[in-house]
């Protein structure tokens, strides 16, 4: 019965309830359950070495649900006719996420809310050994619910001790367009969804660095 309720997703169903239903479907491992709140979080302290700000080790925080996330879900499901919407990651923007020299948004594997947002074929592509070929071009919906004119490239980077999905190539241009809300330290969510089987992503700003809600 619970699965059938989650799959209906009618407009009449309250947006907050539909969001919780979507997030509830992502909970597979009881030791990695997704907590849901709409409270405050504090900005991490920057590093002190050579002006390069190294973020502290990420601590998983409860998932934010507020008017921003509700508007996003309604827009994707009803205006874009999107399907299979999933919260991929909630994170605070790092210093490196806002720098032109890096030109990418990192989504560390150990911070993901779900790893089940790619098909088997898509996983094989992004995990390929040839970095130039191991990419998937994806549309990206911005914080103002406008689809960015250029597609991003999704791939996986292998670090020394970890793996990370990244959105790259046009990321800095995208960030520059929305830099008033995509500030360093702001809490964002990245959602995946599909339009006619095409993998798409959406970026939402859900809290400012000082913990204020509804920044987009």
Over 80: is that where the pLDDT of 69 sits?
A: yes
What average pLDDT does this structure show over 155-183?
92
pLDDT of residue 41: 41
Over 80: is that where the pLDDT of 115 sits?
A: yes
What average pLDDT does this structure show over 99-122?
95
What average pLDDT does this structure show over 88-113?
95
Per-residue model confidence as pLDDT tens digits over 71-85: 999 999 999 999 999
Which of helix, strand or coil describes residue 90? strand
- Residue 58: CA atoms inside 13 Å, Cβ hemisphere, count? 19
Q: To the nearest whole percent, how much of the chain has pLDDT over 70?
A: 70
Instruction: Yes or no: say if 100 and 173 are a contact pair by the CB < 8 Å rule.
Output: no
179 vs 46, residue with greater confidence: 179
Instruction: Yes or no: say if 44 and 93 are a contact pair by the CB < 8 Å rule.
Output: no
Q: What is the pTM of this model?
A: 0.75
Residue 52 CA to residue 123 CA, distance in Å, equals 32
182 vs 54, residue with greater confidence: 182
Tokens 């169903």 — which residue? 13
CA neighbor of 54 nearest in space, from 89, 96, 92: 96
What average pLDDT does this structure show over 150-156?
96
What domains can you pick out in the chain, each with its CATH number?
2-42+50-207 (2.40.330.10)
Q: To the nearest whole percent, how much of the chain has pLDDT over 90?
A: 60
Over 50: is that where the pLDDT of 150 sits?
A: yes
Over 70: is that where the pLDDT of 4 sits?
A: no
Q: How confident is the model at residue 12 (pLDDT cuts 50, 70, 90)?
A: very low
């Amino acid at each position: 019965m619970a699965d059938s309720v989650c799959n209906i997703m009618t407009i009449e169903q309250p947006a907050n309830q539909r969001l919780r239903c979507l997030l509830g479907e992502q909970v597979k491992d009881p030791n990695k359950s997704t907590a849901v709140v709409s409270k405050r979080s504090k900005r991490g302290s920057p590093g002190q070495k050579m002006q390069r700000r190294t973020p502290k080790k990420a601590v998983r925080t409860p998932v934010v649900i507020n008017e921003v996330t509700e508007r996003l879900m309604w827009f994707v499901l009803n205006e874009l006719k999107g399907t299979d919407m999933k919260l991929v990651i909630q994170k605070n923007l790092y210093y490196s996420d806002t720098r032109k020299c890096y030109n990418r948004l990192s989504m560390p594997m150990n911070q993901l809310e779900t790893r089940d947002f790619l098909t088997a074929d898509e996983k094989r592509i992004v995990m390929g050994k040839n970095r130039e070929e191991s990419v998937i071009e994806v549309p990206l919906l911005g914080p103002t619910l406008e689809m960015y004119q250029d597609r991003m490239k999704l791939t996986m980077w292998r670090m020394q001790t970890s793996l990370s999905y990244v959105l790259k190539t046009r990321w800095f241009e995208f960030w520059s367009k929305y830099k008033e809300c995509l500030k360093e330290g702001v809490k964002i969510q990245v959602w995946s969804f599909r339009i006619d089987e095409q993998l798409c992503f959406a970026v939402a700003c859900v809290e400012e660095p000082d913990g204020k809600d509804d920044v987009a």
